[in-house]
Amino acid sequence: MKKMYIAAVLLLSYGTVRAADEPSMKEGLWSIHDVDTTNPGNKVSDSTHSICRSHAWDQEVQAESKKVMKSCTVLSDTTAGNKHVTEAKCQIGTTTITTKAIITSLNENSVHSETHATYSPALGGVSDTTTIQDQKYQGSCPAGISPGDMILSDGTVRHLWKH
């Protein structure tokens, strides 16, 4: 259940739910800066990591997201210019998660997203979260880093995809 919760929220904030006619993100290394605010308590966390992307990896993430989203209803999904807005309602156990994500492609090298989710009743003591994320293209993936590899701020590499 926790896996579904995490995926339902993250897939919207990472912009993996996109209109079919939107261009793919550039292949290569992307830095990702997240600022998460969790309530109650207005707890703020700030993190930065990088991820090596390829079109094949993006497609795999989208396919996995669709599996998770089977417990969700898309309330709206619109694209106007460089802005994509998705609203969804997901049922995870007894909790209803209502999410709105606004993803703005600033240019081919930069994406900004703002995601707000509410949990009713609270899930794990969390009533709502807001994630503000900025993704920036950095160039080619470093030697030894493959698509789906995440580089944490301390240099640790996590392999998120079987190559």
Q: CA–CA distance from 144 to each of 38, 74, 83, 159, 161 (Å)?
A: 35, 38, 34, 11, 14
- DSSP H helical ranges for the chain: 2-13, 55-68
| Region 119-126 average pLDDT | 94
Give the total number of structural domains in the chain.
1
99 vs 117: CA distance, rounded Å: 4
Q: CA–CA distance from 127 to each of 39, 70, 109, 123, 152 (Å)?
A: 6, 22, 34, 7, 27
pLDDT at 24: 67
pLDDT tens digit string along 80-114?
Answer: 999 999 999 998 889 999 999 999 999 889 999 99
pTM recorded for the entire structure? 0.83
Contact by Cβ (8 Å): 130, 102? no
Element (H, E) at 53: strand 43-53
Strand ranges (E), 83-159: 83-92, 95-107, 110-123, 126-139, 149-152, 157-159
Q: In terms of residue numbers, what domain contains 33?
A: 2-159
- Please state which of the ranges 22-31, 37-46, 50-59 shows the lowest mean pLDDT: 22-31
